[in-house]
Structure 1
Amino acid sequence: MKTAQSHQKSYANKRRRELDFAVGDHVFVKIAPMNDVTRFGKKCKLSLRFIGPFEVLERIGTLAYRVVLPPILAGVHNVFYIAMLRKWMSDPSRVLNYEPLQLTPNTSHKERPMQILDRQERRL
């Protein structure tokens, strides 16, 4: 029994990430999207796995952190277990600019290309 426990412990320790956040750090919060269920304003199986970044407000105990959530997530408890957080590193190449959709009264929108990247003429 001791040998099995030792084996499992060494296996777990190799894959463990040492996480530690300071007050003021920014983190992503892991969400668990499910079909036909809206959580954190996200719905569907292929939606994002992490949302954020959010600022760490305080450390609660050794394994939990309180984060500052925006007003649209007011119904979500703002204390998260350390395994649900991922460190945010500012990388300008990963920042996505987005514009809100302009919906018509019948709740549809028309997509327009921003720029044409390539043009070809083909002869059959």
Structure 2
Amino acid sequence: MAPYEVLYGQKCRSPICWDEVGKRKILDPTIVPWIEEANDKVKLVRQRIQTAQSRQKSYADNRRKDLEFVVGDQIHNVFHMSILKKYHPDLSHILQPENIGIDEVLTYEEKPVKLLDRKVKELRNKRIPLVKVLWRNHGLEEATWEVEEAIRGKYPNLFSNQGIISRTKFS
């Protein structure tokens, strides 16, 4: 049974004969060949859908395994609410956050710790020196590539302490 027929209790009317619910009557005999051609195409589509559905069903049936459970079986990622227990607060479970200087508008300034690497990005007609900056309160994976001139202007002390980065001219 088609899904439409299951939902609404009647067969779906085709767009060709929407005006009538009962027996189909064709008023204009000149359109009979078109109607027959459309009906043939609908039958072909239905046949191909049925073939595809049966093929998918056979694939699914071959891979499907009947599961049988016995009382006492433990199933992964499944638990019952009765297993849960009430949490009893314990001071050892409280994690102390790192001290971050937060101002009155609840923001803090990112400050660089050190320079990790350098590279030069080459565009068509210009070369841009970049440095990889490790920021305070962040891990190595959160280090970012920044334009060297901006970092040198804002944090000149980083360049005086670093052995890997020295001031060079870029041509």
Question: RCO higher in 1 or 2 (8 Å CA, sep ≥ 6)?
Answer: 1
TM-score range, shorter chain: under 0.3
TM-score for the superposition, normalised by structure 2: 0.20
Which one has the largest radius of gyration? 2
Task: Please report the TM-score for the alignment, with normalisation by the length of structure 1.
Answer: 0.26
Structure richer in strand, relative to its length: 1
More helix by share: 2
